Amino acid sequence: MAVLLPASFAAWLIMQAAGGGSGEGKAAPTLLPPPGSSEEDSQASDGRPSGDGGEATRPPGPERKPLAGRTVVIDPGHNPRNRDHAAEINRTVGIGTSRKACDTTGTATESGYAEAEFTLDLARRVRNGLERQGATVKLTHDGGRAWGPCVDARAKAGNEAGADAAVSLHADGAPARERGFHVILPESVDEGAADTRAIAGPSRVLGRELVAAFRESTDERPARYIGDGKGLDTRGDLGGLNLSRVPKVFLECGNMRNAEDAKRLTDSEWRDRAARGVAEGVAEFLEGRPKS
């Protein structure tokens, strides 16, 4: 201490002579490191790593956007307000091979949690995940419609967007003893306005990627009560698939009538994992295909 006092006093005199004593309008210079500091702290604060003269830390590069330039259409199945518009949703529309109702109300859990509420919530989460990867994401509806859209309009949305992939989100209303998720693929059809010959193959690839990613993210098992028992089912009677001209599948995320599945479907944290699985499955599919 006896050695430091004269040096500190001399430094103080220099400061006073320079007009820095009052501190008004500018900060006084630091003469010594603040208590508890070290040379290592000083190096870290100015962007250089501690240690023996390492290189300055480079700022992080631009975030990778693997899906930049890709368009994905997400179709939240049904509509929470369909139940109030029976006349509108019961009118029939062409699905290529036949005619079917414009839309339905969907199913619900025993506690009353509607499939339409689930699919809309999940669609928004999926959109967020895909947009973070750079994709342009369009929903067939985002809760602002009074009812619908009809199944033919849902297919048209993907076609008009020139989507690289489209996924329709649903939850099943199977017998309560059954559980599990599955993906519905378009059958190869060529009848009337329905022509899925060009998309049946790519849609199957999309479906397989979704099954793998959804299972890994949610730890859910594929349904054994429908399809091939490995999570895939093929149908030619769904307008949303029959009228699509872009690779498209339906994802039935679980059985709302089963108590175990319902517990998951109604859980917000589980829906986060489900959305991650959908986004990852779509991303895997798109990264394996050339851009159109």
Task: Quote the domain boundaries for residue 116.
Answer: 71-287
The CATH number for 119's domain is 3.40.630.40
User: How far apart are the C-alpha atoms of 272 and 278, rounded to whole Å?
Assistant: 10
* Residue 34 placed within a domain: no
User: Do the domain assignments include residue 39?
Assistant: no
Tens of pLDDT, residue by residue over 113-143, are 999 999 999 999 999 999 999 999 999 999 9
First to last CA, the chain: 75
- Sign, CA dihedral 230-158-151-279, equals positive
251 within some domain? yes
Give the total number of structural domains in the chain.
Answer: 1
Mean pLDDT across 86-94: 98
Is 80 part of a structural domain of the chain? yes
Give mean pLDDT, residues 7-32: 39
Q: Which residue bears the tokens 């994401």?
A: 137
Which phi and psi (to 5°) does residue 192 adopt?
Answer: 60, -130
Contact 236, 154 (CB under 8 A): no
Give the pLDDT confidence score for residue 292 in this predicted structure. Answer: 62
Per-residue confidence at 289, pLDDT binned at 50, 70, 90? confident
Tokens, residue 191: 């009848």
Contact present, 79 and 147 (Cβ < 8 Å): yes
**Mean pLDDT (whole number) for 65-75:** 97
Instruction: Indicate which residues carry an active-site annotation.
Output: 252
Q: How far is CA 212 from CA 78, 263, 278, in A?
A: 25, 22, 10
Give percent above pLDDT 70 in the chain: 78
Please check whether residue 105 lies inside any domain of the structure: yes
66 within some domain: no
Within a domain: 171: yes
